[in-house]
Structure 1
Amino acid sequence: MKNTLVAPLSEFPTVKQRSSRKISTETLDDFSQLTETCRSLSEGNELKTAERVLWSYLPQIEALAQVQSPHQKSAAAITSQAYVLAASLVGHHNDLQSRQSYSERAIWYAECAQNVELQVAALRQLAVTFDYLALPQNVLQTYQRALPLLKDVSPRLQACIYSALSGVYAQLQQEQEAHHFMGIAYEKYPGDRQNEPGYLRTINASYHTLILWDGLNHLELGQPLKAHKILQEIPTLEPTEQIPERIRVELLNYQAKALAAVRDLEQACAYIKTAVEASTVIGSRKRFQEAFTVFQQMKEVWPTEARIYDLGNLFLQRMINLVD
């Protein structure tokens, strides 16, 4: 895998420019609304629908973003947001190469739009991709690339980056740095936790993210009791409007991992069972695989427990439903 953090434009497939199409404010508003609709669909149980709608118009707005006009920057900003969302959606199919490519496109169009906030959001999406690829040094480099830009972005996005950066240092067993950046994240996060911009919801720049990273840091640093206590602050066993469903399933998996670490068999099984069923409903192979990875860890802790055997059967039953 290449070490470049952002692919040059020459590596991107050319989109046929539709310069004959008149670009108007109304046209851009339509594409912006479509992107918001896809985002809303992706936050519920409609990942496949969101993908179909997104790809029905993304090539068109991308073409407009490549045509010189007074509206080019606006078109580039919408295209960047669309690719941030595309990266998230394709990630649920475990297609991490496409996830990386779409994240890089999102960065490039954000730069074309001269929108620093979108650049940082897209860099966050790329860093998450490298995390899924188990490339912690690439993750660290990507967040370090974002650091000089943070002075020009919202406190909410700053907190998201600082908390994620703390997580990288925890993975690298650099405890002091992990606690340092986690502290900055809590300081930066605004008191008003409502009205998040759409693209920040896509990259999960929410207060729950801070709690998640805080808990995971303690888990990485060999402090499972602290991790469990922190992660239990997030209610996840039932769906909630405050947390997109794809994020809720991710949280369930991490909470189950912490519960297994503190040897709470009953609760660990309950959380994994909920995660398996929810990942099947939304059609996320990625979340299903994450749940299975935690289940494998649970089998090592409780190899002869009947509940573990029952969970294994549940995975077999639900696997058949995860078809594209």
Structure 2
Amino acid sequence: MYPSTTLSNNQTQEYSQTENLIEKPPENSSFPKNLLQQNTLYSPINTLFPFQYGTQGVVQSNSGSLDLFTIGIMALTMHQQQHQWDVNELEQKVKDVLEEVHPEAQIQQRMPRSGILGFIARMPVALYSFAKVSGQPAASLVAEEVLPLYAAGIPACWRLYYESGQAELERIIPGYLSHLSVLAHVPSTLQKNAAALLSQTHQLTALLEQGHENFGRAIEHCKQAILYGQLAEDLNLQAMALIRLQDTYYENRRFAQSFQVLRQAESFSKEVSPLLQGRIYARLASAYAHQSQPELALRCNDVAQNIFPSNPGNDVSFLYNHTDRFILYANQAAMYRQLGQPKSAWDAITKAGEFVSNPANPRRIDFLQYQIQATIALNSLEQSCILFEALISLIAQFGRELDMVNTYNIY
């Protein structure tokens, strides 16, 4: 059963600190201490694009005057001229440039999709490195020149996270935190834009830290994300950061604080996008079911179902929310399981599986864990054993420390 929401004195004090968040911007020391310490602010150029394809490959880091760094500068220059590009268009433009340099090559076969995304994500860091080796102070890079690159890089970072690129992201994200912290603290017409991008960067870092079970670090990054969402005056970002904070408390088994933060996110529900509203109420449905409050659980489930947009990708928050109907049905499955309706729970999680076909998607592991819980509730132990084997195989390929612990707890 979901634990009581009664807070101890220590928890009440901690939550009041969480609710008030942070009153002033942090010092520029936001590097995650356990995300590959060897990542410095200015990495050597030949480590920024470590694609190697052998002597017959398309591009190598030492391939002469037209190396990947040069191509990166070409790509980012084109992006600056076309601010309306989204990450899909920019990805295609990078491929186009590579094809122009090597027209005989089949880029799609030579460079994996994650390589293209990593390439785009590294471009802002590459510009800072270029400034360093050319003797130009990094501080002289003005926001108008740099922020469009981060605006392109952040979507690529989100895609890396959800397409098995977490290790690559851990090498990139410290530079984003450091650079954007500077830009977000400098008064300018683009300060809010920088703060919004920094809020997303802290959310990404929180997810990475949570995967390593570094819950204290993850919680701090969630709080930073809320702070910069406030600085950006973006309620959607603030609500999403609260959801990340709630989820981190839940994974850390601090259930009372998790529920309190979820209720705080609910207070934004009338002012945020439909996709965020749907996610908040779907999570509330599951939480109330854990508390044996079926009427509230079913009511929140109905609200989530009714308000959830038919095309989540068009929602203004989709980039950093990255929510589709998997979240809706997964929480519905958890709700039905807690309400003692295992068949409905199985039907809901089966629907959720339609949205996580890619085995590299972190939610594919969550899906199998939900399936196992549903089969156990249905007393289908043979089926649960088969699913366990599939889950262990998937974790061996793509799993994080948190996935291993959660799987052990289910076992």
TM-score (norm 1): 0.82
Confirm or deny that 1:164 pairs with 2:283: yes
Q: For the structure 1 residues 239 and 168, does the alpha-carbon distance in structure 2 shift closer, same or farther, using more than 3 Å as the test?
A: closer
Shift of 1:181: 0.6
- The SS at the match of 2:387 is helix
Matched residue type, 1:135: R
Aligned to 2:319: 198
Aligned to 1:14: 27
Aligned to 2:124: none
Aligned to 1:209: 327
> C-alpha distance in 2, partners of 1:24/1:11?
21
Aligned to 1:261: 377
Q: For the structure 1 residues 91 and 109, does the alpha-carbon distance in structure 2 shift closer, same or farther, using more than 3 Å as the test?
A: same
Matched residue type, 2:258: V
Shift of 1:233: 1.9
Q: Deviations over 1:185-236 (max 9, x none)?
A: 00101122444622011xxx22111101111011122222221222122337
Confirm or deny that 1:240 pairs with 2:240: no
Shift of 1:6: 4.2
Shift of 1:252: 0.9
Structure 1 contact 61–75 (Cα < 8 Å) conserved: yes
Q: Deviations over 1:124-182 (max 9, x none)?
A: 00010111122332222212222232222211110000111111111111111111111
Residue correspondence of structure 1 range 1-324 to structure 2 within 5 A: 2-3=14-15, 4-6=17-19, 8-9=21-22, 13-15=26-28, 20-195=139-314, 197-201=318-322, 205-235=323-353, 240-241=357-358, 245-295=361-411
Matched residue type, 2:382: E
Aligned to 2:96: none
> C-alpha distance in 1, partners of 2:202/2:370?
27
- Unpaired runs of 5+ residues, structure 1, are 296-324
> C-alpha distance in 2, partners of 1:133/1:240?
28
Q: Which runs of 4+ in 1 moved over 6 A?
A: 16-19
- The SS at the match of 2:351 is coil
> C-alpha distance in 1, partners of 2:189/2:141?
11
Larger CA Rg, structure 1 vs 2: 2
Shift of 1:244: 6.4
Q: For the structure 1 residues 69 and 16, does the alpha-carbon distance in structure 2 shift closer, same or farther, using more than 3 Å as the test?
A: farther
> C-alpha distance in 1, partners of 2:28/2:22?
12
> C-alpha distance in 2, partners of 1:286/1:70?
41
Matched residue type, 1:240: S
> C-alpha distance in 2, partners of 1:32/1:282?
28
Matched residue type, 1:5: T
TM-score (norm 2): 0.66
Matched residue type, 1:96: F
Shift of 1:114: 0.1
Matched residue type, 1:245: N
> C-alpha distance in 2, partners of 1:141/1:37?
32
> C-alpha distance in 2, partners of 1:265/1:159?
33
> C-alpha distance in 2, partners of 1:184/1:244?
31
> C-alpha distance in 1, partners of 2:272/2:360?
23
Q: Deviations over 1:283-321 (max 9, x none)?
A: 4111122122212xxxxxxxxxxxxxxxxxxxxxxxxxx
Please identify, of 178-187 and 151-160, the stretch whose mean Cα deviation from structure 2 is larger.
151-160
Matched residue type, 1:200: N
Please identify, of 90-99 and 52-61, the stretch whose mean Cα deviation from structure 2 is larger.
52-61
Shift of 1:42: 1.1
Shift of 1:77: 0.1
Matched residue type, 1:217: M
Matched residue type, 1:61: L
> C-alpha distance in 1, partners of 2:187/2:24?
21
Shift of 1:60: 0.9
- Unpaired runs of 5+ residues, structure 2, are 1-10, 31-136
> How many pairs does the alignment contain?
290
Q: For the structure 1 residues 14 and 33, does the alpha-carbon distance in structure 2 shift closer, same or farther, using more than 3 Å as the test?
A: same
- The SS at the match of 2:357 is coil
- The SS at the match of 1:101 is helix
- The SS at the match of 1:70 is coil
